[in-house]
Amino acid sequence: MILRDLLRVLGSSDRRKGRNLTNEEAYKAFRTILDGSESEIRIGAFLIAMRWKGVTVEELTGFARAARDLATLPCTEVPGVVCICPPLDGYDERPPLEVAAGLVAAGAGVRVLLLTDRGVPPRRGLTGASVLDHLQVGVCWDPAEAEGLVRELGFAAVAASGMLPALLELRRVRGEVGVRTALSTVEKLIVPPTASIVLGAQNGPVLGTAVETMAGLGHPSGIAVQGIAGGVIPTLKKRTRGIELAGRNQVPLTIDPADFGLALHENPELPMYGPPEEGRGSGDNPMLVRAAGDLVDAVLKRELGPARNATLLGAAIVLKAVGRVLTLAEGVDAAVTSLESGAALTVLEKLREQRAR
């Protein structure tokens, strides 16, 4: 019943007669979506209406508050944690190098929680969860297990649907809708509000909305970045836009790989194995998963190439977001040290040992 009333508020038949939702209305809407009391048809209609209208900061913060209140969040009392939040529906042709960037940042001495999942519509793309499985590390479905790994080893990957199982019930709706909706943003924000955050944002005017939402949710610091395919890894071919949140201040950020000697004419890519089967995505392709996992492994073993350069930039952003370094240049230097000293690879090996017990 709540969504039916709010659809009238949105003015789904006439934009001129509608208005944006208040923070509390948005909160109630997502509570009712997540608690299973609304029909799939009405949920789909609401998500499409929000996409058509455009989502405001007030609405996104309300949606995210509802999701967080129903989720089991790890690391809420662990100091110095930085959460890496890429698109959870993954990538079609790009490797999820946020895995490598997170391990490099952990090797540089920060506590990293990577948010991931697998099989998420509409893209069902390649994500860190599948890559970590290939690396014999795996993703944590239990938030308590993820927190333990962050405390002990400095790195863990946690499944969003492990923290909030209600997301699994929405996959059918998202698959039928077939386009990204507010859910694609909200699920990236299911992280402890005490943590710093690195958030991937799609191209367009959404970058400011992303960082204002981070601020509205109370994060002490963070960076929203328009990386490759909406992820957190900057392109190597040109400048990447970002905005840094530092306390109450929002500072524009430009990541130019040429400034650090990391510019190349190509970005990291995966081999092409033909279009995915109907109803399946890149994340369902074992050859792509293997190729992405091998690429991350090669980066950690100090192999030169686009993947290494992109990982260094991504790790530098993570280190700056959590305050480990003051500048991106210092972040790149720290990331290089983590890689060249073997510290990042050591984190991966310890994770493998831990998971094998």
User: What confidence tens digit (pLDDT) does each residue in 107-128 have?
Assistant: 999 999 999 999 999 989 999 9
- pLDDT tops 60 at residue 137: yes
- Percent of the chain's residues with pLDDT above 90: 82
Amino acid at 113: L
pLDDT of 274: 62
CA-wise closest residue to 183 among 23, 47, 43, 321: 47
Q: What's the pLDDT score for residue 151?
A: 97
Which of 19-23, 75-79, 137-141, 282-286 has the least mean pLDDT?
A: 282-286
Domain 2-70 adopts which CATH fold?
1.20.970
Do 307 and 298 contact (CB within 8 A), yes or no? yes
- Say yes or no: do domains 2-70 and 81-356 share a fold: no
Share of the chain above pLDDT 70, in %: 96
The pLDDT assigned to 5 comes to 85
Confidence of residue 280 (pLDDT cuts 50, 70, 90): confident
Work out the angle at residue 146's Cα, subtended by the Cα atoms of residues 142 and 147, and round it to the nearest 5 degrees: 115
What is the CA 295 to chain-centroid distance, rounded?
20
Does 17 have pLDDT greater than 70?
no
**For residues 284-306, average pLDDT:** 94
∠ CA 356-168-274, rounded to 5°: 75
Which pTM value belongs to this model? 0.95
Q: Mean pLDDT, to the nearest integer, of 220-226?
A: 97
* DSSP symbol at 251: E
Beta strands 240-246 and 221-225 are antiparallel
The verdict on whether omega for the bond into residue 122 sits within 30 degrees of 0, i.e. cis, is yes
Query: Are the C-beta atoms of 323 and 219 separated by less than 8 Å?
Result: no
How confident is the model at residue 92, as a pLDDT? 87
pLDDT at 82 over 90: yes
Any idea of the CA torsion for 144, 227, 128, 275, to the nearest 10 degrees?
150
The contacts of residue 132 (CB under 8 Å, 6+ apart) are 99, 116, 138, 139, 157
Residue closest to 334 by CA, chosen among 68, 45, 104: 104
* Domain locations in the chain as residue ranges: 2-70, 81-356
pLDDT band at 10 (very low <50, low <70, confident <90, very high): confident
Architecture of the domain made up of 81-356:
3-Layer(aba) Sandwich (3.40)
- CB within 8 Å of 289: residues ≥ 6 apart: 126, 130, 131, 133, 134, 283
Max intra-chain CA distance, the chain: 61
**pLDDT for position 237:** 97
